[in-house]
A and B are shown apart, each in its own frame.
Chain A
Amino acid sequence: MASQVLSAIIVIVVGVGGCLAYFWGANKLVDLVFPSRGVSGAAAVDNLRRQGLIRPWLFIGPAILILCVYLIYPVISTLIYSFYDKGGDNFVGLSNYAWLASDQEFHNSLLNNLMWLIVVPAACTFLGLVIAVLTDKIWWGTIAKSLIFLPLAISFVGASVIWKFVYEYRGDGQEQIGLLNAIVQAFGGQPQVWISLPFWNNFFLMVILIWIQTGFAMVILSSALRGIPEETIEAAVIDGANPFQIFWKIMIPQIWGTILVVWTTITILVLKVFDIVLTMTNGQWSSQVLANLMFNWMFRGGGDFGRGATIAIVIMIGVLPIMIWNIRQANKEGGR
């Protein structure tokens, strides 16, 4: 253990030091090769111009290199892999896609993913908005917000354990140690094995992600709500609007942009979600989703990179519209 701590510290020092040395050294080198001080006026201007050409690339070079290796190359490579067989050796054209189109488990995951995509962002945004509005009105709102925000810091695996315990099932007649079954039993209901109830188990898994992400929606929406000018609400009150009219007709339209941002952000997250399904059911009892299906094909049992890559492409296609929307939005802001 001590040796691991030591080697970790050494690597941190070397890695971080190396980064600093690169930036500092490269910068010094430019100053040395194209000096701007201590040379004649014309040469100085010339060298300053050259420095201006080179330096941005020194600053941004490492980032571009890493982005290319870790994101851009993989996207292209995955696309190519999706046309190859199991081991990535033989070109098989569209046969992976054909397999996908006819695979029962894929249909099931696609359907489940669609449900996730509808339910989770909607629930998070709605609950986040409701809680933001409610907590704004009470003196202990900040504390309440912190507590609701808290699950955002918890890992999906940790959250899965937490909720698995809530859903824990004991045979009928035994004392329930899972909160949900205990409540059901207290009201005279029949305890259930929640996570293996086909179809409904999807919703019990979604609850976990909703529990994690509502705090995120709440914080963003709460700050948007604070940005609403007081006068618009006062004017509506004077005109005799009731609280619901104020909420739907005055507040919502003014924060519509923020709602969209929250919605899309959670949508992207949902497409990538994997850990919850892996730890709770691993796709059993027809609760499979795309990201976990892909992981199965890649590493477990399947070991088929071609099919895994094809599923990754499907996930990518799901994200594409949001990507385009993001870039257009950024361009509208003028790149600054």
Chain B
Amino acid sequence: MAQPSGKSAGKSFFGRFGVHLAVLFFVLLWTLPTIGILVTSLRDKDQIVGSGWWTSFASSTQTSATRLAPPSAQVEKDGKFVIEGNLFETPGTSAVSAFGTRSAQPTEFKAGDVADLKDGVTLQVNEDGSYVYSSPVAFDGNNGRRVYFAATVPPKFTHENYRTVLFSEGIGRSFLNSLTVTIPATIIPIMIAAFAAYALAWMRFPGRALLIAVIIGLLVVPLQMALIPLLELYNGVGNLFGVPSKTYLGIWLAHTGFGLPFAIYLLRSYMAGLPRELMESARIDGASDFEIFVKIVLPLSFPVLASFAIFQFLWVWNDLLVAMVFLGSGNDQLVLTGRLNALLGSRGGDWEILTTSAFITIIVPLIVFFSLQRYFVRGLLAGSVKGG
């Protein structure tokens, strides 16, 4: 059978439908985990542990426990002792579907039924939460009876989690620390790398080829190699000058060092591709290398400078290892990733804290990513040799 053109080869109706379905499947697989934490971070704390986040847009059923009013509230009615009241603090928002008096069977009776609790004691719980608890003999004791009930709760969203996390879990402070680390650690390597890249691309000097080879080799050096010697070096310098060894300056320089090979590699290959005539005519006009660099090469290199800036920003912002080693773990220095890692240890099951914190740590990279995606992709395509 003849096909219309190359790209649409083998496309029956079902084939095309299958492609849409397959892509949809992948998209869901890749976005659902993130959507999960976003939705969870906006949910009520009790609802998070009660039901899956995917049910949060529908009313959910929660089983909870409460106490009836204490015996002091009883009144005598028709020879029986009766306690009346409502299970809900604010009746009207939820509906009871079932109740029970034993934790093993929290939903033993249907709402509205009169439960027989032996010796003539009965309990009736209605859908709206009102109850009638009656007994032939007077109730005694101080506490009200414990009852369990399943209630249908309407979806409830809140920004309470964000307030808690930002102001009492130290995330707000860490956010600032992360910015303090990231901005200089993005700008400094760009400047140093740009000059070096120009020299490697357009200036003649002995040892150039060797230098390029070394830098390409350094692209793949694992960060782990640098930790122990640099830590010793920092401690030594710290002792010598009587300054703390874990400083912001230290981490800026460390990120500069680790980002430099990739920066030089990326910028050099771009600058080397600029038209030779441009440089030569400028040189004939008497421009020095410095002038050519500042007035011609730098403006032309803007796209690749931007893509490196995004890389470096994301890399530094998302880094955990370098910050753990070269920056203290005190409140005034802990960065977002470090804080999140600490929270995972200390607040293990508190998903309202964890999901909210996680969302705050990823929101900046996501904004950067969405607004500057074009440059990010360009950088990826230009520098796909480097391993992150």
Contacts and interface: CB of A to CB of B under 8 A. Distances in A.
B195 A268 contact: no
A315 B260 contact: no
A166 B33 contact: yes
Given A66-B256, A265-B384, A323-B220, A179 B211 contact: no
Contacts of A331: 213
Contact of A158 (B5, B49, B358): B358
A312 B204 contact: no
Nearest to A55: B289
B187 A56 contact: no
A69 B257 contact: yes
Contact of A4 (B31, B180, B214, B357): B180
B340 interface: yes
Contacts of A12: 183-184, 187
Contact of B261 (A67, A211, A335): A67
Contacts of A311: 224
Given A77-B229, A158-B337, A153 B36 contact: no
Given A70-B254, A74-B230, A165-B355, A59 B36 contact: no
Contacts of A178: 52
A262 to B, nearest CB: 7
A37 B285 CA distance: 13
A156 interface: yes
Interface string A162-191: 111110100000011111001000000000
Interface residues of B, number: 125
Given A157-B340, A177-B53, A242 B10 contact: yes
A171 B62 CA distance: 16
B3 interface: yes
A326 interface: yes
Contact of A305 (B6, B192, B218, B228): B228
Interface string A308-331: 110110011001001100110111
B59 interface: no
Given A179-B54, A211-B33, A220 B381 contact: yes
Nearest to A236: B6
Contacts of A72: 214, 218
Nearest to B264: A63
B330 interface: no
B244 interface: no
B282 interface: no
A144 to B, nearest CB: 5
Question: Which of the listed residues B52, B188, B228, B362 has the most CB atoms from chain A within 10 Å of its own CB?
Answer: B228
A331 to B, nearest CB: 7
B179 A233 contact: no
B225 interface: yes
A131 interface: yes
A268 B10 CA distance: 38
Contact of A23 (B32, B195, B368): B195
B229 A19 contact: no
B240 interface: no
B249 to A, nearest CB: 8
A193 B54 CA distance: 20
A195 to B, nearest CB: 12
A256 B185 CA distance: 36
Nearest to B354: A161
A31 B288 CA distance: 9
Interface in B1-36: 3, 5-7, 9-11, 16, 19-20, 22-23, 26-27, 30-34, 36
B195 A62 contact: yes
A165 B220 contact: no
Nearest to B177: A4
Contacts of B386: 265
Nearest to B381: A223
Interface in B209-226: 209, 211-226
A246 B387 CA distance: 31
B341 A157 contact: yes
Contact of B223 (A62, A161, A272): A272
Contact of A233 (B9, B33, B191, B256): B9
B196 A59 contact: yes
B69 interface: no
B81 interface: no
Contacts of A140: 23
Contacts of B324: 299
Contacts of A216: 380
A248 interface: no
B218 A154 contact: no
Question: Which of the listed residues B5, B52, B264, B337 has the most CB atoms from chain A within 10 Å of its own CB?
Answer: B52
Question: Which of the listed residues B10, B49, B272, B358 has the most CB atoms from chain A within 10 Å of its own CB?
Answer: B358
Contact of A56 (B180, B199, B221, B233): B199
B23 A8 contact: no
A219 B374 CA distance: 11
Contacts of B32: 179
Interface in B31-87: 31-34, 36-37, 40, 48-54
9 contacts: A55-B203, A66-B256, A70-B257, A134-B19, A150-B31, A158-B340, A271-B222, A275-B321, A299-B325
Given A162-B33, A165-B37, A236-B6, 6 more contacts: A4-B177, A67-B218, A152-B369, A164-B344, A268-B387, A330-B216
The list of the 6 closest CB pairs from A to B, nearest first, reads A70-B257, A268-B387, A155-B318, A77-B229, A63-B196, A153-B369
Interface of B: 3, 5-7, 9-11, 16, 19-20, 22-23, 26-27, 30-34, 36-37, 40, 48-54, 173, 176-177, 179-180, 183-184, 187-188, 191-193, 195-196, 198-201, 203-205, 208-209, 211-230, 232-233, 248-249, 252-254, 256-258, 260-261, 264, 272, 286, 288-290, 293, 314, 317-321, 324-325, 332, 337, 340-341, 344, 351, 354-355, 357-358, 361-362, 365-366, 368-370, 373, 377, 380-381, 384-388
